[in-house]
Amino acid sequence: MVADRLRFQHAGHYDAIGRALADTLDRQLSDRPDPLIADVGGGTGHYLTQVLTALPDAVGLTLDVSKFAARRAARAHPRGGAVTADAWRALPLRTGAVDALLNVFAPRAAAEFRRVLRPDGVLVLVTPAPDHLAELRAPLGLLDVDPRKDERLAEGLHGHFAPAGEREVRFTMDLTRDDATTVVGMGPSARHIASDDLRARVRALPEPTPVTASVRVHVYRPREDSDTAAPRRGRPRAEDPA
Ligand SMILES: C[S@@+](CC[C@H](N)C(=O)[O-])C[C@H]1O[C@@H](n2cnc3c(N)ncnc32)[C@H](O)[C@@H]1O
């Protein structure tokens, strides 16, 4: 999955998402000198790299449970570092040390996010919209995006964060059959489709296939009355499909 994600992102297909994140963080952090931006479940550091490139005074840290991903992220940008860390446990960051937390298609733990963020910090998350990769879902038999995803996001953060904005990022990608295979490998559907079936279905696609990318960028602010010492109640749901 990491190799698929790297190949797809390096081809530039999701660059518009990175630009939207950079623009959002630029606005949110305009009054901060040398802000620290941490990307939890940041993978190989792709989006953090785009953000750091756009914000010349910022420094960044990728946290990811995968050693392979963290090694790549550590080399991704001169102002970025990386550590291996499990988002379901205590993060290796001081309380209130982070100006902005990024979370893109990755696990999120509200109480711990709240602890490491400054009280006036910002949490920026990306989730897939229901029409994300719409043209591939029926032909390839991909899992649907949960239509209650945003509701679940808000429920999971409630008590620690309040919504402070949202924007949609929607564009069309022209994907080759190889790209289509790769994007399936990046998401949860990969575990549900036998590789022979996938190959046969992909062969039937026109080339290139116009495919919708559709995500939501959510901005949340810490709640003043948040109880940062609240015990975690079980493991939240796994990462979002992308
Ligand atoms: C769908 S990928 C997204 C990666 C990156 N945000 C991106 O969009 O390119 C999910 C990432 O979350 C990481 N991850 C999964 N479980 C995790 C956990 N418990 N703690 C930290 N990272 C985790 C995976 O290793 C993977 O890099």
Digit-coded pLDDT (tens) for 42-60: 999 999 999 999 999 999 9
Mutate to test the pocket of ligand 1, among 44, 64, 68, 232 (most ligand atoms within 8 A of CB): 64
Q: Report the pLDDT value the prediction gives residue 237, as an integer from 0 to 100.
A: 45
Mutate to test the pocket of ligand 1, among 105, 116, 191 (most ligand atoms within 8 A of CB): 105
Q: Does domain 2-130+146-172+215-222 have CATH number 3.40.50.150?
A: yes
Length of the chain: 242
Low-confidence ranges of the chain (pLDDT < 50): 229-241
Which atom number of ligand 1 is nearest to the Cα of residue 2?
27
Taking only the tens place, the pLDDT of each residue in 108-157 is 999 999 999 999 999 999 999 999 999 999 999 998 988 898 899 999 99
Place of tokens 């190949």: 7
Residues framing ligand 1 (Cβ under 6 A): 5, 41-43, 46-47, 64-66, 69, 86-88, 104-107, 239, 242
Among residues 109, 95, 96, 99, which one has the least CA distance to residue 40?
109
Q: Report the pLDDT value the prediction gives residue 228, as an integer from 0 to 100.
A: 55
Q: Report the pLDDT value the prediction gives residue 18, as an integer from 0 to 100.
A: 97
Q: Report the pLDDT value the prediction gives residue 20, as an integer from 0 to 100.
A: 98
142, 185 Cβ separation under 8 angstroms: no
Vertex 19: Cα angle to 156 and 3 (nearest 5): 75
Q: Report the pLDDT value the prediction gives residue 91, as an integer from 0 to 100.
A: 98
Q: Report the pLDDT value the prediction gives residue 225, as an integer from 0 to 100.
A: 79
How far is the C-alpha of 189 from the C-alpha of 239, rounded, in Å? 12
